[in-house]
Amino acid sequence: MTTAPDPHTPTAPADTAATAGPPASPATSPAPSPAAPRRRLSVVADQAPDSPVPAGCNSSSPSTDVRGEASRPGRKAAAKAGADLRGEVLLTLARLRLATPHQLKALLLPHQQDTDHVRRALRNLLAESPALVGRTHRAQQSYWYCTPAGLAEAAASGELASPVGRTTGKRIAASKTGLREHGLALVDTVIAFHRAQAADHADWRVEVAHPTPAGNLVPDGVVLLNNGSSAFVEIDRTMSYARLLAKLERYDAYRGAPASGRGNAARPPRSHWQENYAGPSLDRRFPPVLLVFAPAWRRAAPETREAAFHERARRVGSVDYRLTVATTTLPLLTKYGAGREVWRVVGNGRGGERRALAALPKAR
């Protein structure tokens, strides 16, 4: 009897040897790359002393001798970051006589949230031999100024608009008579002009003597504005109205002061202010006098003193004719900026409205 084939039993091929392919060779892994060990080491943040990083490693951690040393170069670089500001800090102190770290930050690093970089630069300058800057502490605040060595180095740089002489800010910073607060109010005024882009902080000259027939005129500051014209700036905290009016008369006398030196025979004689502030032509008018009333202890409020000054100054004959005098208060200047409508022109019929710096009338 013939047995039927089981359908579940697979039928063997007729010629297995003829149809089967060559036996599969065992899988082989590629040869290890020389870079493989280095890639594995690259994920290690710090290397032990007996496990140096191989040459050519793409790790950002350098080979060190102490665990955790890889983070130290970053700290050293940060510690030296203040050295980049040394020149700017030194020149600013030479121009303005004194400043606080917060004022320096507002001028040099306005977008920084803290004063760390400025303080580091100040410490670097203080650590020089001889020291290029000095400081005085009052009421948990530090006031910085240039030393004679710092003034000499700043003058040698050629970056100053005029010679700074030998006067340092040490006496001003250590003063207990309000002289320090007067100097700081001037720096706040410089910051207000700088923030409003009305004038750069490097275009200020502080307490420069101007000759007049009645004696030297020494403005608190002279600023080169961004439109190429100049302005005299006076800060008032404690000066009497009589002395303020006398200083306006000194400005009027300065208008006719002759230029220093022999002059140029090829052109008509020019006055001292024309030689220094009028530029190549005679079309530019006498610079305006900008008076800023700052707060002072045991004195009337700045706006009160400003109003009282207007009542007295409008009686001066040269005001509003040969002189353009405009006033403001330091709180207004700090809040709105020098370019906004914060200036009140002195003179009869001017009213009490405030104008922008660019809208001030020209002296005749």
Give Cα separations from 22 to 15, 18, 295 (angstroms).
14, 10, 101
**Within this chain, domains 78-174 and 177-260+270-364 share the same CATH topology:** no
Please compute Rg for the chain using Cα positions: 37
DSSP string, 193-238: HHHTTSS-GGGEEES--B--TTS-B--SEEEE-TTS-EEEEEEESS
Max CA distance (Å), the chain: 151
* Gap between the Cα atoms of 217 and 211, Å rounded: 6
Q: What is the pLDDT along the chain (364 residues), one digit of tens a residue?
A: 444 445 444 444 444 443 444 444 444 444 444 443 433 323 333 333 343 444 444 444 343 443 443 333 444 434 444 566 889 999 999 999 999 999 999 999 999 899 999 999 999 999 999 999 999 988 888 999 999 999 999 989 888 876 555 566 677 776 766 788 999 999 999 999 999 999 999 999 999 999 998 889 999 999 999 999 999 999 999 899 999 999 999 999 998 888 876 555 555 678 899 888 987 766 788 999 999 999 998 889 999 999 999 999 888 877 877 899 999 999 999 999 999 999 999 987 766 789 999 999 988 7
CATH number of 78-174: 3.40.190.10, 2.40.50.100, 1.10.10.10, 1.10.1760.20?
1.10.10.10
* Gap between the Cα atoms of 139 and 153, Å rounded: 30
Residue at token pair 């882009």: 197
DSSP string, 95-115: HHSEE-HHHHHHHH-TT-SSS
CATH classification (class only), 177-260+270-364: alpha beta
Q: Where are the domains of the chain?
A: 78-174, 177-260+270-364
What is the layout of strands, in order, in the sheet containing 325-329?
204-206, 221-224, 230-236, 289-293, 325-329, 344-345
